Structure 1
Amino acid sequence: MLKEESRYVKLKRLIRFYYLKILRLNGSPYQIAMGVACGVFGGCFPVIPGLPLQTVIAVAASFITRSNKLAAIIATWISNPFNWILFYYIQFKIGTFLLPIHVTFDPATWQVSDFMEIGWQGVTILMFGGFVLAVPLSIAAYFITLFVVRRNRKRKALRMLSRKN
């Protein structure tokens, strides 16, 4: 029980750390929000062992949109080792629903080491499912981040004004 609580506390602290790190970034709220959206977009693609595909996609998208690259890199952690199986399962379900490709694959019992065994058809399904999942999640991430950064900066400005008086 104590070990589970400590894992939960560590995860909570890690999430708060990255949240604060994003809030403290330099740049306009638009640039930060767009960077987070690019990172979430890249983070929705499957992790391929040995290839930093998520980070490459996020940074490339942030260059194209002229947004904050560090926010994009941080936001790729939307998919992390704790939730890869869930992401792959959702990506696989979306991909098999929308593509006429049939692959025998059980995401519930899958491990990252099995990635190369699913072949190009399986990778295509996961990539397409990741793209379809990435679009609405990155749009939501943009608006949520824009709201949070603006609210945080407004509060910070009000605090600074109240200290001067």
Structure 2
Amino acid sequence: MLFRRRQPQNLASRIRTLVWPRRSYARSFEYFRKRVLRLNATPHAIAAGFAAGVFASFTPLIGFHFVVAFALAYIISGNMAAAALGTVVGNPITFPFIWGLTYEVGQFVLRSDPITGEAPRGLGAALVHMDFASIWAPFVKPMLVGSLPIGLTAGLLGYGLVYSAARSFQKHRARRILARRQPSSAARLGAATAASRGPGEV
């Protein structure tokens, strides 16, 4: 399976690692960055896949972010592994900010009145009873509308950053591989030349 750990984590361990990474946030970010850049694909495919995952993370379609990301990645010729990694942008730490921002933008676009009073308490009851029809208009619809411009902006920004980083990483790796091969090629050429000469030849 893609990116499977040797020792699977339980839910509590995953949440703890997300909130307080074992390696520190800086090292965790560097590890995540390398996983993205080392994917075996073109810079466009990596960047497009990552952008698809970022866009999907801004939608309120919880539980379907992978589906949305993979569908978008397929349409724009993105890498599926990069799309999966891009969905990490949406996590328990960022979701409150994403949901609040998409809701406010959606309310502004739709020119709807803000929800007050009993509605927030009714949200919990609707979720418990799986009554999604009652939360579509007041909550899901504005969040979905708001997620489109915000997700598109974040996706384009992610594409630009990842494309530039992936292209630079791949060029640097190609130069490094070429530098390793040149001395060995020169040594083999020298050995072949020496072997082709006769005993008395200089």
Q: What TM-score comes out, normalization by structure 1 length?
A: 0.81
Q: Tell me the matched-pair count.
A: 155
Query: Structure 2 matches for 1:14-163, cutoff 5 A?
Result: 14-48=28-62, 52-104=63-115, 116=127, 119-121=135-137, 122-163=139-180
RMSD: 2.8
Unaligned runs of 5+ in 2: 1-18, 184-202
Q: Percent identity?
A: 25
Larger Rg computed on CA atoms = 2
Deviation at 1:12, TM superposition (A): 3.5
Distance 1:82 1:115 in 2: 24
Letter aligned with residue 102 of structure 1: D
Unaligned runs of 5+ in 1: 1-5
Q: What TM-score comes out, normalization by structure 2 length?
A: 0.67
Q: For the structure 1 residues 7 and 27, does the alpha-carbon distance in structure 2 shift closer, same or farther, using more than 3 Å as the test?
A: same
Distance 1:150 1:71 in 2: 15
Q: Classify the secondary structure of the residue corresponding to 1:98.
A: helix
Q: Classify the secondary structure of the residue corresponding to 1:145.
A: helix
Listed one character per residue, the Cα deviations across residues 101-160 of structure 1 (whole Å, up to 9, x for unaligned) are: 334269xx99x9688387112100111111121111111111111100000111112222
Distance 1:81 1:20 in 2: 23
